[in-house]
Chains A and B, each alone.
Chain A
Amino acid sequence: MLQLNDIYKVFNEGTPDEKVAIDEISLDVKKGDFITIIGSNGAGKSTLFNIIAGKMFPDMGGVVINEQDVTGLPEYKRARRIGRVFQDPMAGTSPTLTIEENLAIAYSRVKPRTLRPGVTAKRRTFFKEQLETLGLGLEDRLRAKVGLLSGGERQALSLLMATFTKPDLLLLDEHTAALDPSRAALITRLTKEIVEREQLTTIMITHNMQQAVDLGNRILMMDKGQIIFEEEGARKKHLTVSDLLNEFGKMKGTELSDRTLLGG
């Protein structure tokens, strides 16, 4: 479904600040995979996402989505088939537009936008059904401006908007990190439900090791622009947080605590 072939990306090349962000990463994501990525700050996780989404282009290597080479394709063109949810709950929605207008924008992402009304009676019914699956009562507030919603509500809406057109690939960039624990748990639960229901191929960055262990069928650990540990299938299923910490320690040759990995 998604292939990354020897991706290499360096920032500030030729200056004292030179930093290799992605160091020849190759990855083959199969249809239906749910991959969680962990790693300390600066490990290259977000850069990897930006390269997949088309916000940045790799210095070397290629990105292939559904057998199509998209390495040079700009972000907005790839976005038809890639859903994204960001860490900042404010980032995924448009605050001065209403809930139904935001949903209409997400709904019309798959083809060129036309001069037909964005919100029609038929679509409104569909939006309502979709909002009901969130269980937050947003279906009764279709005409409320999104800027009035709480962070948790906005993130739930972002998640719905990113997924309800059934994208080929869903990228979740620490999308629960900015929420309080109960809201984060809600978004995690909704993510799990939606990904299972829609059978979405998903990659999720998280700093929460428990979340990384609980969700998905594959796990990647990144450090210094490389994938240093990978597990999938049955072995991934039985993985625990302490296993992860041990693995990380082995790779680095030192004992590490949860804190050092997270603190970076």
Chain B
Amino acid sequence: MWMSIFTSVEVGLMFALMALGVYLSFRILDFPDLTVDGSFVTGAAVAAIMLVNGANPLIAVTAAFAAGFIAGVITGLLHTVGGINPLLSGILMMIALYSINLRIMDAPNVSLLTQTHLFTWIREGIGGTWAIMGVMVAVVLIVKVMLDFFLKTEFGLALRAVGDNHLMITSFSGNIHFYKVFGLGLSNALVALAGALVAQYSGFADVNAGIGMIVIGLASVIIGEAIFGKKTIIRTTLAVIVGAIIYRIIVALALRVEFLETGDLKLITAIIVILALVLPKAIAKQKETMRKRQRRLRLSAQKG
């Protein structure tokens, strides 16, 4: 039990990077980007194939980040230059990436079990139960702080305005096409980075590993926002990270229930997202009703 929660947090930290990417496209740009299902695997594939060919793990991870960026940029260009609607641009890119990922790996999956990679480095270099956890916490925090800073720069503010009010940002000399393309690039770069880390952690890259990834990302964003709110950027990015970890823990606990099987995972994910979407609204409505009822009671008490 303790062990499975511990691993959930470790994996959750890796998926947190993916969730931050989804937050960028889905919330900041208001662009439901399904490229994620493909770019997650692209990250894994690029890193895996480079590691198999003896590349330095850090370079392999950087290459995965860059590959994800390119994938996102292409989705962005399909939408902005090609005039294709956001959902369809993402779906087209996702489907295209499936073949591209197969080409990169040259096989449906690549094993990394005998390779030297980031986590073998950490296990051997630092050692101890907490090594990977510690490094992942540091990595995620660094990414978070950088993202928080970025979203408050002149450039980042304009990026946020694109998803908020594109009429306004155009009238203040912001090129919305450019910001969308760049934002989607950054988003998918983070997703690919997560893919590269997860592949090394689990010891293989699989061409089907990305199926439903967007929903997991959304689940993390929505769970996080529902629990921690989204008052400021700093708080929301933290919420998304914790959301990703909580999601992993929920899944781990759900899988311990006897009648559930590994194959039920996608169904569980869908149900979690539905609950996270519906419950906060229902609770808010209930609160509102209670508040009004109490106010009526108070008013009638005053009169009476």
Distance of A139 from chain B, by nearest CB (Å): 20
Contact A91 B173 (CB under 8 A): no
Question: How would you classify the secondary structure of chain B's contact residues: helix, strand, loop or mixed?
Answer: helix
List residues of chain B with CB under 8 Å of any chain A CB. 149-150, 152-158, 160-161, 164-165, 167-176
Given contacts A94-B168, A109-B172, list 11 more A-B pairs with CB under 8 A. A76-B170, A84-B171, A91-B165, A94-B165, A95-B164, A96-B164, A108-B157, A113-B155, A113-B158, A116-B153, A162-B171
Given the complex, which residues of B lie within 8 Å of A53, measured CB to CB? 171
Distance of A69 from chain B, by nearest CB (Å): 19
| Interface hub of B150, B152, B171 (most chain A Cβ within 10 A) | B171
* A32 on the B face (CB < 8 A): no
Contact B158 A105 (CB under 8 A): yes
Chain A to chain B contacts (Cβ below 8 Å), 13 pairs: A76-B175, A77-B173, A97-B160, A105-B161, A106-B172, A108-B154, A108-B157, A109-B173, A110-B173, A115-B150, A115-B153, A117-B153, A118-B154
Contact B172 A79 (CB under 8 A): yes
Given the complex, which residues of A lie within 8 Å of B149, measured CB to CB? 117
Q: How far is the CA of A73 from the CA of B117 in the complex (A)?
A: 50
Given the complex, which residues of A lie within 8 Å of B160, measured CB to CB? 94, 96-97, 101
- Give the number of A-B contacts (CB < 8 Å): 89
Q: Among A77, A92, A95, A97, which residue has its beta carbon within 8 angstroms of that of B157? A: A97
Interface residues in A106-153 (C-beta closer than 8 Å to B): 106, 108-110, 113-119
Q: How far is the CA of A117 from the CA of B148 in the complex (A)?
A: 11
Residue of B nearest to A110 (CB): B173
Q: How far is the CA of A93 from the CA of B161 in the complex (A)?
A: 9
Number of interface residues of A (CB under 8 A): 33
Contact B155 A80 (CB under 8 A): no
* A245 on the B face (CB < 8 A): no
Given the complex, which residues of A lie within 8 Å of B161, measured CB to CB? 94, 97, 105
Interface residues in A46-97 (C-beta closer than 8 Å to B): 53, 74-77, 79-80, 84, 86, 90-97
Q: How far is the CA of A116 from the CA of B158 in the complex (A)?
A: 12
Contact A76 B165 (CB under 8 A): no
Given the complex, which residues of B lie within 8 Å of A95, measured CB to CB? 164-165
| Interface hub of A105, A110, A119 (most chain B Cβ within 10 A) | A105
Chain A 159-194 interface mask (CB, 8 Å, partner B; 1/0): 001100000000000000000000000000000000
Q: How far is the CA of A96 from the CA of B169 in the complex (A)?
A: 13
Q: How far is the CA of A109 from the CA of B171 in the complex (A)?
A: 9
Distance of B93 from chain A, by nearest CB (Å): 25
Known contacts: A91-B165, A96-B164. The answer to whether A76 contacts B173 by CB under 8 A is yes
Q: How far is the CA of A115 from the CA of B159 in the complex (A)?
A: 12
Given the complex, which residues of B lie within 8 Å of A90, measured CB to CB? 165
Given the complex, which residues of B lie within 8 Å of A86, measured CB to CB? 167, 171
Residue of A nearest to B175 (CB): A76
Given the complex, which residues of A lie within 8 Å of B164, measured CB to CB? 94-97
Contact B170 A118 (CB under 8 A): no
